[in-house]
Amino acid sequence: MDCKKVNRMLQDEIDGRLPPSDAAEVRRHVESCGSCAAEAAAYRRVGEMLRLWTTSRAGEKAPQLDSLWTRVRAGIEERKQPSEPASWVRRWLWLPAGAALAVLVLLFYPSDVSRAPFHPSSFEVAVEDLESDTATVALVDKGDDLPRVIWIIENDKT
């Protein structure tokens, strides 16, 4: 086996991936060839240095690693969110908001439909809001005349 071929097989030999006969041949060559022995040592040193590097750097965080469970435990707790309402509940949440709006409109809307259209001389607008998970309702003209719903904003929160 020549140096070129041995060099191609060195990493496989280090990782124990060669068939026993090839591995033995590579080892025999390395024992008798200075440059291939240096190459093999250089490959092995990569692993040694990486292990020293990670161990050395891990030492910086030894106290934090010792108390890692506290952090993990906190992370576990943090993810334990209160259970969300079922999807069907969320789907029908607009109902109470809608009902409240309807009641409000009925309460303030004049029953006399034959009266002249409302043209207020000045606006005294107050904003009231009813907020639910599904909508926000904003009102109201509270001038001298009858209070009226003048604007409704639906946020479509669902």
Partner 1 sequence: MNEKEKPGTPDEALIRAALGGEEEAFRELMERYKNRAFHVALGITGDPDDALDVVQEAFVKAYYNLKEFRFGANFYTWFYRLLVNQAIDRWRKSSRSQTVPLDEKWLSEEVSPPESVMYPRTPEDLAQNRQLSGALTRAIADLSEYHRAVILLREVDGLAYEEIAEVLHCSVGTVMSRLHYARAKLKEALKGFREG
The answer to whether 15 contacts partner 1 (rule: CB under 8 A) is: yes
Residue (of 75, 8, 58) closest to 36 by Cα position: 8
Please identify which residue in the block is written with the tokens 């029953």.
Answer: 111
The answer to whether 50 contacts partner 1 (rule: CB under 8 A) is: yes
State which residue, 79 or 115, has the beta carbon closest to partner 1: 79
The answer to whether 37 contacts partner 1 (rule: CB under 8 A) is: no
Tokens read off for 57: 């750097």
Residues forming beta bridges with residue 130, ordered by sequence position: 137
Which span (61-69, 87-95, 128-136, 138-146) binds partner 1, by CB under 8 A?
61-69
What's the CA angle centered on 107, arms 101 and 113, to 5 degrees?
A: 110
Tokens read off for 35: 């440059």
The answer to whether 106 contacts partner 1 (rule: CB under 8 A) is: no
State which residue, 14 or 149, has the beta carbon closest to partner 1: 14
* Residue 81 · residue 51 · CB < 8 Å: no
The answer to whether 42 contacts partner 1 (rule: CB under 8 A) is: yes
Site of interaction with partner 1 (CB under 8 A): 11, 15, 17, 42-43, 45-61, 64-65, 68-69, 71-73, 75-76, 79
